[in-house]
């Protein structure tokens, strides 16, 4: 038995469909429903791994090593569970598989077409994933009417036909506020629903996205002209925090209505009891007691989504400890040391390439010399090693990604990675890390063995371990099978730690990542 809820959007993109889909998923999980999530992206890249974060925001890595759309990150954080690469579909992946099949002659002489071959392939992927769950929520990227997403809309039409009452469409639409006349305009929403209808898909549920609340009259108007009864129209008004969206939808009885439409049995427990975690999290969010200021020093600062998992993981750690997180994305290309003086903690995130590394190196040096809590993630850890090797150990070494022809590389590409193509060939997904006793990392994680996600090509060159150690930098975590460095620390400082993995990717709303949480607590201690 397969049940599917599609989430579409119009008349513009960036409506927060991902947050709406995630909120629904979370609310239903709280009702004991086994929910899966999928995102369909209309672009032709096989995955977002080769796209610049400036272009498309962060690349989210799943435990099984999928390089996926950043919405998968929202899903995981809201749902509180890990997903796999099957949750992220792109047109590129679909076309590649269909064309590979064509080359193998598997279409038996038929003309291969968008309908039915591409649509059938999309359908197959959706049905296959849906089998594992009580309900699969499928979000379609972009907005209705885009040429790129037409095959997905046609697939939705067919799935609705095949599954009847077991498939519904939730359409989120934009209701702009015209400030000069202080009027909400419902026409764009009507238009986008009717455009969807003209493609053969009638939505069961509408969600209005607006700056202010709609009046009863406006809701009725939308209902009348979009042919959806007003009890199936929900409002999603701009909130200060995305974590307030599930609460707002819960208050409107959203999960109960969806469950009724799809014939899903939901928990009969009291609302406060079943959504206890969400409600508790929101109460903390409303009652933050202290504040820390964090500097995130990186080069992808022109798109706020580039560091979204880092920012959200800082918030999870903050909110759960009633600490307000103030953060600035500081451009490492034109960075000045002076601008770092007012921060309680410095974070250097992952990154690629030469450009912008000077600022990161300066920031690391500044944190190290002034005993400011420091967390280096992936590239951030590699550069922390490089900075220490050059400035403290006086070694004549380089980072292989920054200086390909250097004689001594303290960070180098692994032999077996050397002649691989760019896309999908990094050390990706979960790897085990064994943490040494009596180290800060051990104290933070509590366990000897942990698993965290990776996305990188370069590694620390173990030949230099003793040189670092002599001056006080230790390797406190390694990958047990290969001996590759996973965590470095400077015990001399109060909190100076670098990790080859991405702790931000495993953080969940009510279960912050331990390392990020420790970093925030250290920042609070160091508060200016
Ligand atoms: N560029 C570095 C590498 O490939 C770090 C990657 C990252 O920070 N995600 O190893």
Q: Whose CA is nearest to atom 1 of ligand 1?
A: 352
CA of 474 to the centre of ligand 1 (A): 20
Rounded distance between C-alpha atoms, residue 103 and residue 517, angstroms = 51
Strand pairing report for 474-478 and 485-489: antiparallel
Quote the pLDDT of residue 479.
Answer: 95
Rounded distance between C-alpha atoms, residue 65 and residue 67, angstroms = 6
CB 15 within 8 A of CB 261: no
Quote the pLDDT of residue 424.
Answer: 60
Quote the pLDDT of residue 55.
Answer: 85
Nearest to 379 by CA among 300, 464, 434: 300
Quote the pLDDT of residue 370.
Answer: 96
Rounded distance between C-alpha atoms, residue 24 and residue 22, angstroms = 5
Quote the pLDDT of residue 302.
Answer: 87
Cβ of 356 below 6 Å from ligand 1: no
Rounded distance between C-alpha atoms, residue 442 and residue 229, angstroms = 56
Atom of ligand 1 lying closest to residue 411 CA: 10
Rounded distance between C-alpha atoms, residue 464 and residue 449, angstroms = 24
CA of 380 to the centre of ligand 1 (A): 9
Per residue in 160-185, is it b (16+ CB within 10 Å) or e — as a string?
beebeebbbbbbbbbbbeeeeeeebe
For residue 445, the surrounding DSSP H or E stretch is helix 440-445
Tracing tokens 């820390």 back to the chain, one arrives at: 292
The string of DSSP letters for 296-347 reads: EEES-TTSGGGGHHHHHHHHHHHHHTTEEEEEEEEESSS--GGGGTT-SEEE
Rounded distance between C-alpha atoms, residue 89 and residue 40, angstroms = 5
- 399 has catalytic annotation: no
The string of DSSP letters for 246-257 reads: HHHHHHTTHHHH
Rounded distance between C-alpha atoms, residue 384 and residue 365, angstroms = 8
Rounded distance between C-alpha atoms, residue 400 and residue 382, angstroms = 10
- 378 has catalytic annotation: yes
The string of DSSP letters for 339-398 reads: GGTT-SEEEE----SSTTHHHHHHHHHHHHHTT--EEEETHHHHHHHHHHHHHTS----E
Rounded distance between C-alpha atoms, residue 307 and residue 58, angstroms = 6
3-state DSSP helix/strand/coil percent for the chain, to nearest 5? 40, 25, 35
Quote the pLDDT of residue 65.
Answer: 95
CB 42 within 8 A of CB 141: yes
Ligand 1 pocket test target in 401, 422, 428, 456 with most atoms within 8 Å of CB: 456
Nearest to 321 by CA among 274, 358, 288: 288
Q: Which of 40, 236, 378, 393 is catalytic?
A: 378
CB 478 within 8 A of CB 486: yes
CB 194 within 8 A of CB 228: no
- 86 has catalytic annotation: no
Quote the pLDDT of residue 414.
Answer: 75
Quote the pLDDT of residue 418.
Answer: 65
CA of 482 to the centre of ligand 1 (A): 18
Quote the pLDDT of residue 13.
Answer: 85
Strand partners, 177: 184
Rounded distance between C-alpha atoms, residue 423 and residue 443, angstroms = 37
CA of 404 to the centre of ligand 1 (A): 15
Quote the pLDDT of residue 369.
Answer: 97
CB 219 within 8 A of CB 234: no
Rounded distance between C-alpha atoms, residue 174 and residue 167, angstroms = 23
Surface-to-core class of residue 277, CB atoms within 10 Å of its CB (0-12 exposed, 13-18 middle, 19+ buried): middle
Cβ of 133 below 6 Å from ligand 1: no
Rounded distance between C-alpha atoms, residue 22 and residue 258, angstroms = 14
Rounded distance between C-alpha atoms, residue 489 and residue 412, angstroms = 20
Mean pLDDT by 10 residues, the chain (528 residues): 95 91 97 97 92 90 96 97 97 97 95 97 98 97 93 98 98 96 94 96 97 96 95 96 95 95 91 93 95 95 92 97 95 84 95 93 96 98 98 96 91 74 77 97 97 96 96 96 95 98 96 98 92
């Amino acid at each position: 038995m397969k049940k599917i809820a599609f989430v579409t959007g119009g008349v513009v993109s960036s409506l927060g469909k991902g947050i709406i889909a995630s909120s629904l998923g979370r609310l239903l999980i709280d009702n004991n429903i086994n929910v899966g999530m999928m995102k369909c992206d209309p672009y032709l890249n096989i995955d977002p791994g080769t796209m610049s974060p400036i272009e498309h925001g962060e690349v989210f890595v799943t435990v099984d090593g999928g390089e996926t759309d950043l919405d998968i990150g929202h899903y995981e954080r809201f749902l509180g569970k890990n997903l796999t690469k099957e949750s992220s579909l792109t047109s590129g992946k679909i076309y590649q598989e269909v064309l590979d099949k064509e080359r193998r002659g598997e279409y038996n002489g038929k003309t291969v077409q968008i309908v039915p071959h591409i649509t059938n392939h999309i359908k197959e992927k959706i049905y296959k994933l849906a089998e594992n769950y009580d309900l699969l929520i499928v979000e379609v990227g972009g907005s209705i009417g885009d040429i790129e997403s037409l095959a997905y809309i046609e697939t939705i039409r067919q799935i609705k036909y095949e599954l009847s009452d077991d498939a519904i469409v939730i359409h989120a639409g934009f209701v702009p506020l015209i400030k000069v006349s202080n009027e909400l305009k419902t026409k764009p929403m009507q238009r986008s629903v009717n455009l969807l209808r003209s493609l053969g898909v009638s939505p069961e549920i509408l969600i209005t996205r607006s700056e202010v609340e709609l009046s009863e009259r406006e809701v009725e108007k939308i209902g009348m002209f979009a042919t959806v009864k007003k009890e199936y129209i929900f409002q999603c008004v701009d909130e200060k925090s995305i974590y307030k969206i599930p609460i707002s939808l819960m208050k409107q009885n959203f999960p109960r209505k969806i469950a009724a439409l799809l014939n899903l049995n939901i928990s009969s427990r009291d609302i406060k009891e079943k959504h206890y975690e969400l409600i508790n999290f929101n109460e903390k969010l409303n009652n933050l007691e202290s504040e820390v200021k964090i500097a995130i020093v990186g080069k992808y600062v022109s798109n706020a989504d580039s560091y979204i998992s880092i920012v959200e993981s800082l918030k999870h750690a903050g909110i759960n400890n009633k600490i307000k997180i103030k953060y600035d994305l500081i451009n490492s290309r034109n960075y000045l040391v002076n601008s770092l003086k007012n921060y309680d903690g410095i974070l250097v995130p992952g990154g690629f390439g030469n450009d912008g590394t000077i600022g990161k190196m300066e920031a690391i040096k500044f944190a190290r010399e002034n005993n400011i809590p420091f967390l280096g993630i992936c590239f951030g850890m590699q550069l922390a090693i490089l900075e220490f090797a050059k400035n403290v150990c006086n070694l004549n070494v380089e980072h292989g990604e920054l200086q390909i022809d250097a004689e001594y590389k303290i960070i180098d590409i692994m032999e077996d990675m050397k002649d691989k193509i760019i896309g999908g060939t990094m050390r990706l997904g979960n790897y085990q890390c064994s943490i040494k006793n009596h180290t800060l990392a051990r104290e933070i994680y509590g366990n000897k063995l942990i698993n965290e996600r990776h996305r990188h090509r370069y590694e620390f060159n173990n030949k230099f371990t003793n040189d670092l150690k002599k001056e006080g930098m230790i390797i406190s975590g390694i990958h047990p099978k290969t001996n590759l460095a996973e965590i470095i620390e400077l015990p001399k400082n109060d909190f100076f730690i670098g990790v080859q993995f991405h702790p931000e990717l495993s953080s969940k709303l009510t279960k912050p990542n331990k390392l990020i949480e420790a970093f925030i607590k250290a920042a609070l201690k160091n508060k200016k």
